[in-house]
Amino acid sequence: MTAVNPSSSPSLVARLIETGAHQKLLAFASLVLLLIGFSIASPNFMQTSNMIAILQATSVNGVLAVAATLVIITGGIDLSVGTLMTFCAVIAGVVLTNLGMPLPLGVIAAIATGALCGLCSGTFIAKMKIPPFIATLGMMLILKGLSLVISGTRPIYFNDTPGFDLISRGSLIGDIFPALPIPNGVLILFLVAGAASYILGRTVLGRYTFALGSNEEAVRLSGVNTDFWKMSVYALAGSICGIAGILIASRLNSAQPALGLGYELEAIAAVVIGGTSLSGGRGTVLGTLIGALIMAVLTNGLRVLSVAQEWQTVVTGAIIILAVYADMVRRRKA
């Protein structure tokens, strides 16, 4: 999970600050505080079924946020995560429902489509030198349009693929421990987060992800093929969006072609609340996971308290600003 080469940490405190563990602690403390606050405020909040509803609400945004984290650590941004998710869901729909292929092929097709689209974004950015914001903005619109074209603007249902809805809605954990029916979608979120965390902390790709965000020029001058690594990161992020596409399609038992716009901003918000710097070079998947949970707890808690919807939006916005402000104050001190 640690972001920094372990050999470069002189003291425990310095290491805590350097690795962003401090920030994770802050974010985690806020999450716990929110949970306690809502539990006191409403007897209906702390129920197993509601906690599971929160986890389930986190699953799709969480997976998208993990994808966004990888890209943001390189100092880039990916605005296409939401519509790419939808596009992958539509592809799964075409493969499974329109072509009638078996379930695993649909899943593979969605993930491969995600990787391919990510590779396209990566190519625009690394080879054609288009700024990430513009390149992925373009991709966001292209994919939104293609989703509508391919689906014929109607939702594609998965009624002919038995078991598809179980990918997200079923519960392997619940089958073993009936008291804890945690949906598979949540399990998949944690698996994706674990894998991304491993890649960031333990692999060459992870090391270059951070290096690109810290000082791309220095990395390039030291003889590293930065274009290749950058494209790899975007492709990896894309394949994770493909997983999100499967998750949401399975949860809704349909690929909704018009969905997806706006989801990128919520993913980026989760990343930022989790302490990942938008200027790159710094961030953790665990932080993002906590950030996504904070967003979901906040949304659900405000609803369970029956706070008027206008105010829910105001509070969510304020929390994002507070979280980033807290992070900046901390960094100025460090």
Partner 1 sequence: MLNRRTLIGAASAAALMLSGNFAFAQETYIPLISKGFQHQFWQAVKAGADQAASEMGVTITFEGPDNETMVDRQIDMLAAALAKNPTAIGFAALDSQAAIPLLKQAQEKGIPVIAFDSGVDSDIPVSTASTDNIAAAALAADKMADLIGGAGQVAVVAHDQTSRTGIDRVDGFVNQMKAKHPDIEVVTVQYGGGDHLKSTELTKAILTANPDLKGIFGANEGSALGVVNGVSEMGKSDVVIIGYDSGKAQKDAIRNGVMAGAITQNPVGIGYETVKAALEASQGKEVPAHIDTGFYYYDKSNIDDPKIAAVLYD
- Residues at the site binding partner 1, with contacts judged by CB under 8 A: 26, 29-30, 33-34, 36-38, 40-45, 47, 49-50, 53, 56-57, 60, 153-155, 157, 169, 248, 251-254, 256-262, 299-307, 309, 311, 315, 319, 322, 326, 329-330, 333
φ, ψ at 124 (rounded to 5°): -55, -40
How far apart are the C-alpha atoms of 257 and 154, rounded to whole Å?
A: 7
Nearer to partner 1, 45 or 210 (CB): 45
DSSP secondary structure letters along 168-186: HH--HHHHHSTT----HHH
User: Count of H helices and E strands in the chain?
Assistant: 14, 2
- Cβ 285 to partner 1, closest distance in Å? 22
How far apart are the C-alpha atoms of 219 and 78, rounded to whole Å?
A: 22
Nearer to partner 1, 276 or 299 (CB): 299
| 9: amino acid identity, one letter | S
> How far apart, in Å, do the first and last CA atoms of the chain sit?
20
- Cβ 50 to partner 1, closest distance in Å? 4
By residue count, the chain amounts to 334
- Cβ 56 to partner 1, closest distance in Å? 7
- Cβ 208 to partner 1, closest distance in Å? 31
Residue 79 and residue 288 in contact, taking contact as beta carbons nearer than 8 Å: no
- Cβ 256 to partner 1, closest distance in Å? 5
Nearer to partner 1, 70 or 259 (CB): 259
Q: Which two tokens stand for residue 12?
A: 């425990």
Residue 201 and residue 1 in contact, taking contact as beta carbons nearer than 8 Å: yes
Nearer to partner 1, 23 or 288 (CB): 23
Its sign, for the CA torsion 275, 51, 177, 254, is negative
- Cβ 310 to partner 1, closest distance in Å? 8
Nearer to partner 1, 252 or 285 (CB): 252
- Cβ 53 to partner 1, closest distance in Å? 4
How far apart are the C-alpha atoms of 166 and 236, rounded to whole Å?
A: 25
3-state secondary structure of 255: strand
Instruction: Give bridge partners of residue 157 from the DSSP assignment.
Output: 254
Nearer to partner 1, 2 or 253 (CB): 253
Nearer to partner 1, 211 or 289 (CB): 289
Nearer to partner 1, 56 or 226 (CB): 56
How far apart are the C-alpha atoms of 151 and 309, rounded to whole Å?
A: 32
Sequence-distant (≥ 6) Cβ neighbours of residue 226 within 8 angstroms: 126, 208, 212, 216, 219, 220
- Cβ 80 to partner 1, closest distance in Å? 16
